[in-house]
Amino acid sequence: MVVCFAGGLAVRDWHEPVQVRYNVVVCVEHANDGKVGVTFVSNSEVRVRFAPSPTGALHIGGARTAYFNWLFARQQGGKFVLRIDDTDAVRSTEASAVQILDAFAWLGLDYDEGPGVGGPYGPYRQSERYDLYRRRLQALLDAGRTYPCFCTQEQLAEDRKRAQEAGVAPRYGGRCRHLSAQEIDEFLASGQTPVYRLRVKETNSVVVRDEIHGDVTFSATEVDDFIIWKADGHPTYHFASCVDDMEMNITHIIRAEEHLSNTPRHVALFQALGYAPPRFAHVPMILSQDRAKLSKRHGATSVQEFRDDGFLPEALLNGILLLGFAPGNDQEVITRDEALKGFDLQRVSRHSAMYDVKKMQWLNAHYIKSMAAVDLLDRLWERISGMVAEGVTPDRERVAWVLGVIRAQQERVRTLWELADAVVAYVQEVGEYDAAGVKKHFSAVAATRLRKATAALQAVEPFIAPRIEAVYRELIASLDMKGGELIHPTRLAISGRTVGPSLFELMQLLGRDACIARMRTAAKWIEERNLAANSE
């Protein structure tokens, strides 16, 4: 038998009439073997949601799920809803909620409805929707679809023990399922506070059609009469989430694979509440290269950590897109505009995605290299403005100078902060020299060579890279030495480092006076160091 429901689905039985709530067609197939197959087909405006719990920073797995939802909604011309699932009063914090909203703003993921934006189905925080949950619980009680359970923890523990001894999966045995009204009143009169369980219809199995995993079969043993309302007067995650998805007319639920096992319960809840389940798509888990769950030892794992480490939001979005989505070619650099055109749930892998922090760094370096210097300066200015102002005026001269430094360095760094450090290094006096570089390049004779080089630099006019290089080549030839014997000590003297952009471009950017001053300082430092060593 095949029963197709348009809009919602039967309140108490598959055969009852239904109300049209949104244009979703649900086909429920009853096979002779007792299996129930549920197929979801949507004709309505696409409405997706991302519903994080504010118990910490936004993890890259959550950010990936949010991005997939955002792409799907924008691609389909639908609505993207942000809902804060903060029913866990113990672990949820306002600071975490604010951090999640900040992460969305930084990533550039705008939402059509949600905190700070509003919308027709608000409020968008579960902690502000308890009255709605209570009404829905009462409706289920009135319809006989839920019942109070007074089982003690000791009774439930004993039930689990017996199931384990019998070699079967533990499940609620239904001790309170058939309590009479008198028995319920007696329990309540004795002061016992019940939980409430959903009265789940019996079937052999449930087959759910997932947009990524295809048909997924769940045994009836996986769906018992589960708790939907806790004894402390709060809804469970499952109940509140399903009620909100229905009330907000969510048509597609794109979420992490770890929620796939919850789907039979959610389908049962949707059915009990009398609404058509949304379509489901469960995106793959994200594992480390050693196939372990991500942790601090694998590098940055939250959006805030990547932001603090100097990543560009464009690079992070590109990186998390590739954690499960295959564009169908070898392309690895995929901008947001390109993702909007090419994203397809059918191209999302069923297999776990491997997180590679080196690839994230490579992508970030690529985006830095590709970005206009003025745009990079805009991202860096708050961090470097106080350090590059002194001695570089007026503003026009300062900005032009910093842009030149950025252009010289942006192909050699992996993060914004590496670029910021490189820019600042041009302005601040060298505080210390690279230890390995000192051992290799700051010999006693290096001081003499640096002083000869400073004398030669006095005559360079104009002080530009080609002229500087020409003078250096002449000096190297006249002293009959290898180029590195002068070039390496010079770089170390003016930057404190052994690597960086072209030495002569670096010297041009620093200017004659700064170069000569730093080289003289380094020569004096070498001489004093050698003098101290000889006197010991």
Residues catalogued as catalytic = 296
Token pair 């113990």 in the structure block, residue: 90
Write the CB contacts of 258 (distance below 8 Å, at least 6 apart in sequence).
Answer: 285
Q: Which of 87, 50, 122 is nearest to 237 (CA)?
A: 87
How would you list the strands of the sheet with 146-149, edge to edge? 146-149, 195-198, 227-229
Number of neighbours of residue 515 by Cβ within 10 angstroms? 23
CB atoms within 10 A of CB 168: 10
CA angle (527 as vertex; 523, 530 as ends), nearest 5: 140
Segments of 247-398 assigned E as strands: 252-256, 279-283, 286-287, 353-354
Distance, in Å, from the CA atom of 278 to the CA atom of 8, rounded to the nearest integer, reads 10
Q: Whole-angstrom Cα distance, residue 334 to residue 79?
A: 23
Q: In a 3-state reduction of DSSP, which class is residue 124?
A: coil
Name the burial class of residue 94, with classes exposed (0-12), middle (13-18) and buried (19+) by CB atoms within 10 angstroms of its CB: exposed
Distance CA 22, CA 26 (A): 11
Tokens representing 294 are: 């991500």
In sequence order, what DSSP letters do the residues of 125-174 get, joined into one string? Answer: BGGG-HHHHHHHHHHHHHTTSEEEE---HHHHHHHHHHHHHHTS------
Comparing CA positions, the residue from 131, 135, 148, 140 lying closest to residue 274 is: 140
